[in-house]
């Protein structure tokens, strides 16, 4: 009997008769190997990938031995459960039953009840591998994807039961959804409304009250007032009779069943008298379209029921048109059912047809001889004007003709998408089912559900690999879903096919690939030209805003330009979740509380990415002065801490979040990351001794990370080098040899050993410089590096040379070195790592520009120095001090006063050398205050 691997609710192996398998095969790391293989199924996984996740701290040879031994032990217990080919290992699902694989199969087949039954608890709940931070990150990503799939399944089941009149069944599915997403205001409204319809007002009120308590107590936010008002409205309405039992029709078959059951009786009678060949064509068409639908999963359905009505088409022409009219309306209904969350029906009253969320497709079929013509008019659903489609084809081309009709209608059914861009892209699709999946991807991307968008775009490109524009969208979704390998491959494929696109799309794709390659200045120039040429092109504005936000500070631009660009993007498309998210962060930075509230309300109303919405709430909450919210998953909490510290410039609130992550019961990898953050926050507040104490704690979990950050602190450009501190840092760092299979925490992202060796050589070179800069600069770049690492190494080498020349009293030569930096870096790397962001070099450049009297340039570089890397906020106070000096020299006393005050707020009780910098800020504040006094 087949052995079973269960991953939902933990990790366990069971024999065919249900007995638990224990012993060596059930060790955590061996179960982790099985989980990794199951997630990748049906694709294989490389041995190196498994080693990097399961044994990151082992040397390469040792890790390979451990993997071979683990596979041997697993095969002894489970039999031959893998399909191996050299360096790749794949799981054989016929030899090992896995609930995760069965769950995904059920989702693909739209057997949502089976999927909901398989999902017993979160994936690998409570499972942890010590010293394997990358495994934790992988698990978090996979767990989120399965939760997202479960949400879709439960939402579809809830919608199905509600549509069938089985309110009690819908309540059961809604309750499970609410357990997963207790802060989803729209879901709370829906659940309370269902209880009210079932005649259970107490439960409806209880659901609303529990939501309000949770959101006040756990998130420290004001509850959405729409929940209470919707609950009151539902209680005022009469209860709906509910079904005791409901027929369980598979969702894939339901589309055809609903459309056919409402067909008029005389049409059914006429259909029986059709010639045999016409009956076969009609039946085959229904089956083909329905089968095509099974492989494509509709996006998450909104809480409000949106209905597309397709009444039986009118018949014109010869006698065969009557039967064709009935069959073609039925087939079109099956083809469009579920698209954009719409439920297709065949009859509705005129009053209902005018309600929000309803649309109607009326049609006529004309058969004359060997020619068919179909006329379809789409109206309603908020459209000011009806949309008309007229298509003709030979009488034996029913299937292609209907597919063309569906392709014409589909772009008009998805709300909020850029009509011009989508219509242009739609012309490339040969099949309606492929176009529909593409539109699902665009809709998910717009809601900020990047994983779902990537899945949709991937399926489209697998069906048709010639669609360069979809490859580009796949690259974007993969990038935002943190699937960078696929983003690189997809972007390269998009570029190869860009010549077949229209000029505007080709330029977008080419500029995006330039941006992904790390050429920030060129990408900035290209997108800047685009928005000037097409000021209403929302897509171009989003790209320009992305470059300005993530890349602008790397080339000396301030975030004010990014804020204005995101404002323009939101003005052009207020339903783009990504634009709302970025705009909210920058409005929070500028203290615009009204804008923050408006943007958050808009994001909530479109029901975007749940995790990102929680982050937006936390950032918005802090921005309006309601304190730090820490009821977030670890990864989200760490990100919010960095935004609060650097972008909002509030290290005190950020420290509250970091200390929560450093709790004793937190996973070791999370605690290590938190102690690194606490060390940076201490430096940002002038507490140098406390920062080193945090590094001492960090060294117990990750001595390499502690050594690197200790060296980084000792080479900060605004501090005078300390012989004792630098000697200690150099000794510790020299012994912290990078390991080939580890992912060092000090990099804050997964990079390979060559990068680690480059950065170690860089820090050792800085620590080895003499105070007068008269020693040798021992820093050389290894040969044959990848382009990104080669640019990084060259720039860091210039940084070492510039520091040496600055100490030697040659500031002009030092500045020249820094002005020749390449600054080629993909923004994902710059955003996570101070090294890839060249933060030290950018700050040093600002110092040298100030010394050279180029004050406006210096001011911009000081402003930009704290706006990229997640841990760059330790430069905040010295940056404000320097900007205060510049504005004072320029005679702008009000701005100088603001900067001096901000530096003093950040450095309230500094120790050691930083105390003298606080004195400098106090003296500056006194000067500008006295000089402005009457």
Asked if residue 584 has pLDDT above 90, the reply is yes
What is residue 636's predicted lDDT score, i.e. its pLDDT? 83
Is 398:282 a contact under the CB 8 Å cutoff?
yes
Token pair for 336: 């469009």
Asked if residue 131 has pLDDT above 50, the reply is yes
Asked if residue 554 has pLDDT above 60, the reply is yes
Per-residue model confidence as pLDDT tens digits over 602-645 = 888 777 788 888 889 888 888 877 665 556 777 788 888 889 99
Residue 836: CB partners within 8 Å, gap ≥ 6? 792, 825, 829, 830, 869
pLDDT tier at 107 (50, 70, 90 boundaries)?
A: confident
- Rounded CA-CA distance 400/575 in Å is 34
Residue with tokens 């600069």: 777
Average pLDDT over residues 542-556: 93
Average pLDDT over residues 85-98: 81
Average pLDDT over residues 332-343: 87
Mean pLDDT of the chain: 81
Closest CA to 255 of 322, 319, 331, 180: 331
Average pLDDT over residues 516-542: 92
What is residue 85's predicted lDDT score, i.e. its pLDDT? 65
Give the chain's length: 934
Residue 462: CB partners within 8 Å, gap ≥ 6? none
Token pair for 706: 């502690």
Percentage with pLDDT > 90 across the chain: 32
Closest CA to 256 of 296, 293, 281, 224: 293
- Rounded CA-CA distance 580/573 in Å is 9
Residue 923: CB partners within 8 Å, gap ≥ 6? none
Task: Select, from the ranges 48-52, 55-59, 273-277, 838-842, the one with the highest average predicted confidence (pLDDT).
Answer: 838-842
Average pLDDT over residues 888-906: 94
Which range, of 28-37, 343-352, 912-921, averages the lowest pLDDT? Answer: 343-352
pLDDT tier at 741 (50, 70, 90 boundaries)?
A: very low
Per-residue model confidence as pLDDT tens digits over 412-426 = 888 888 877 888 888
Asked if residue 123 has pLDDT above 80, the reply is yes
Task: Select, from the ranges 218-232, 297-311, 516-530, 605-619, the one with the highest average predicted confidence (pLDDT).
Answer: 516-530
Residue with tokens 């919608």: 159
Buried b (16+ CB within 10 A) or exposed e, 129-164: beebbbbbbbbbebbbbbbbbbbbbbbbbbbbbbeb
What is residue 238's predicted lDDT score, i.e. its pLDDT? 54
Token pair for 398: 């029913």
Closest CA to 612 of 417, 444, 439: 444
Alpha carbon 732 to chain centroid distance?
37
What is residue 753's predicted lDDT score, i.e. its pLDDT? 64
What is residue 691's predicted lDDT score, i.e. its pLDDT? 93
Average pLDDT over residues 834-847: 93
- Rounded CA-CA distance 364/692 in Å is 78
Closest CA to 335 of 293, 303, 369: 293
Average pLDDT over residues 375-391: 80
Asked if residue 832 has pLDDT above 90, the reply is no
Average pLDDT over residues 925-932: 86
Which range, of 137-141, 610-614, 802-806, averages the lowest pLDDT? Answer: 137-141
* Torsion angle of C-alpha atoms 519, 525, 528, 530, degrees rounded to 10: -90
- Rounded CA-CA distance 218/211 in Å is 10
- Considering only the C-alpha atoms of the chain, give the largest distance between any 2 of them, rounded to a whole number of Å: 101
Counting Cα atoms < 13 Å in the Cβ hemisphere of 449 gives: 24
Beta bridge partners of 82: 91
Asked if residue 432 has pLDDT above 50, the reply is yes
pLDDT tier at 276 (50, 70, 90 boundaries)?
A: very low
Residue with tokens 């044959």: 784
């Amino acid at each position: 009997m087949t052995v079973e691997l269960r991953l939902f609710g933990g990790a366990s192996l069971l024999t065919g008769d249900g007995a638990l398998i224990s012993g060596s095969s059930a060790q955590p790391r061996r179960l982790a190997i099985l989980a990794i293989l199951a997630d990748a199924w049906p694709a294989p996984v490389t041995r190196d990938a498994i080693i990097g996740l399961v044994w990151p701290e082992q040397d390469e040879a040792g890790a390979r031995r451990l993997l071979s031994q683990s596979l041997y032990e697993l095969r002894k217990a489970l039999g031959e459960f893998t399909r191996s080919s050299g360096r790749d290992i794949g799981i054989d699902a016929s030899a090992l039953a896995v609930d995760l694989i069965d769950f995904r199969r059920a989702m693909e087949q739209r057997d949502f009840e089976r999927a909901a039954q398989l999902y017993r608890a979160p994936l690998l709940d409570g499972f942890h591998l010590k010293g394997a931070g990358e495994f934790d990150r992988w698990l978090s990503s996979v767990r989120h994807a399965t939760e997202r799939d479960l949400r879709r399944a439960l939402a579809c089941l809830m919608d199905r039961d509600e549509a069938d009149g089985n309110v009690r069944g819908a309540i059961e599915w809604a309750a499970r959804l609410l357990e997963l997403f207790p802060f989803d205001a729209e879901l709370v409204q829906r659940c309370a409304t269902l209880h009210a319809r079932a005649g259970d007002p107490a439960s409806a009120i209880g659901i609303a009250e529990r939501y309000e308590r949770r959101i006040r107590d756990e998130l420290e936010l004001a509850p959405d007032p729409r929940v209470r008002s919707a609950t009151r409205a539902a209680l005022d309405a009469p209860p709906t009779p509910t079904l005791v039992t409901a027929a369980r029709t598979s969702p894939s078959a339901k589309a055809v069943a609903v459309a056919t059951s409402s067909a008029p009786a005389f049409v059914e009678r006429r259909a029986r008298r059709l010639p045999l060949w016409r009956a076969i064509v009609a039946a085959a068409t229904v089956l083909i379209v329905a089968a095509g639908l099974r492989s494509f999963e509709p996006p998450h359905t909104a809480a409000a029921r949106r209905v597309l009505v397709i009444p039986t088409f009118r018949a014109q022409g010869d006698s065969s048109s009557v039967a064709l009219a009935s069959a073609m309306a039925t087939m079109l209904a099956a083809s469009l059912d579920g698209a954009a969350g719409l439920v297709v029906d065949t009859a509705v009253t005129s009053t209902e047809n005018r309600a929000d969320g309803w649309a109607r497709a009326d049609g006529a079929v004309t058969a004359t001889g060997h020619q068919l013509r179909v006329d379809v008019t789409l109206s309603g659903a908020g459209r000011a004007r009806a949309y008309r489609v007229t298509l003709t084809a030979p009488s034996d081309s029913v299937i292609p003709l209907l597919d063309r009709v569906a392709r014409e209608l589909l772009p008009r059914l998805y709300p909020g998408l850029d009509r011009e861009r989508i219509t242009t892209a739609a012309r490339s699709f040969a099949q309606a089912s492929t176009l529909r999946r593409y539109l699902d991807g665009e809709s998910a991307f717009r809601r900020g559900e990047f994983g779902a968008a990537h899945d949709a775009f991937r399926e489209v490109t697998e069906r048709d690999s010639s669609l360069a524009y979809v490859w580009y969208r796949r690259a974007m979704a993969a990038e935002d879903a943190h699937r960078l390998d696929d983003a690189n491959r997809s972007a390269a494929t998009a570029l190869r096919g860009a010549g077949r696109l229209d000029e505007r799309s080709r330029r977008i794709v080419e500029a995006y690939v330039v941006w992904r390659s790390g050429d920030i200045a060129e990408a900035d120039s290209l997108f800047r030209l685009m928005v000037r040429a097409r000021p209403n092109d929302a897509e171009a504005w989003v790209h320009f805003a992305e470059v300005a936000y993530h890349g602008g500070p790397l080339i000396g631009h301030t975030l004010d330009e990014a804020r204005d660009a995101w404002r323009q993007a939101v003005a052009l498309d207020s339903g783009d979740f990504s634009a709302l998210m970025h705009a909210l962060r920058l409005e929070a930075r500028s203290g615009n509380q009204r804008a923050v509230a408006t943007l958050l309300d808009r994001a909530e109303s479109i029901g975007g990415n749940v995790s990102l919405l929680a982050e937006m709430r936390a950032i918005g909450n802090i921005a309006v002065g309601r304190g730090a919210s820490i009821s977030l998953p670890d990864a989200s909490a760490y990100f919010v801490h960095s935004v609060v510290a650097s972008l909002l410039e509030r290290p005190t609130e950020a420290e509250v979040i970091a200390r929560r992550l450093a709790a004793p019961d937190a996973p070791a990898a999370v605690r290590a990351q938190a102690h690194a953050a606490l060390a940076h926050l201490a430096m940002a507040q002038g507490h140098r001794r406390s920062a080193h104490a945090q590094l001492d704690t960090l060294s117990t979990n990750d001595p390499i990370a502690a050594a690197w950050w200790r060296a980084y602190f000792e080479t900060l450009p605004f501090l005078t080098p300390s012989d004792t501190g630098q000697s200690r840092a150099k000794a510790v760092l020299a012994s912290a040899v990078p390991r080939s299979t580890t992912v060092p925490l000090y990099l804050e992202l997964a990079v390979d050993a060559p990068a680690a060796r480059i950065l170690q050589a860089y820090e050792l070179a800085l620590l080895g410089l003499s105070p007068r800069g008269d020693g040798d600069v021992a820093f050389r770049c290894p040969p044959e590096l990848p382009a990104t690492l080669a640019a990084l190494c060259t720039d860091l080498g210039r940084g070492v040379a510039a520091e040496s020349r600055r100490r030697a009293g040659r500031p002009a030569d030092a500045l020249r070195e820094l002005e020749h930096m390449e600054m080629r870096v993909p923004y994902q790397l710059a955003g996570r790592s101070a090294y890839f962001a060249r933060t030290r070099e950018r700050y040093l450049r600002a110092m040298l520009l100030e010394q050279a009297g180029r004050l406006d340039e210096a001011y911009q570089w000081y402003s930009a120095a704290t706006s990229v890397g997640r841990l760059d906020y330790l430069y905040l106070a010295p940056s404000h001090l320097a900007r205060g000096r510049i504005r004072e020299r320029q005679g702008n006393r009000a701005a100088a006063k603001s900067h001096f005050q901000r530096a003093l707020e950040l450095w309230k009780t500094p120790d050691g050398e930083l105390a003298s910098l606080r004195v400098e800020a106090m003296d500056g504040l006194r000067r500008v205050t006295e000089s402005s006094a009457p």
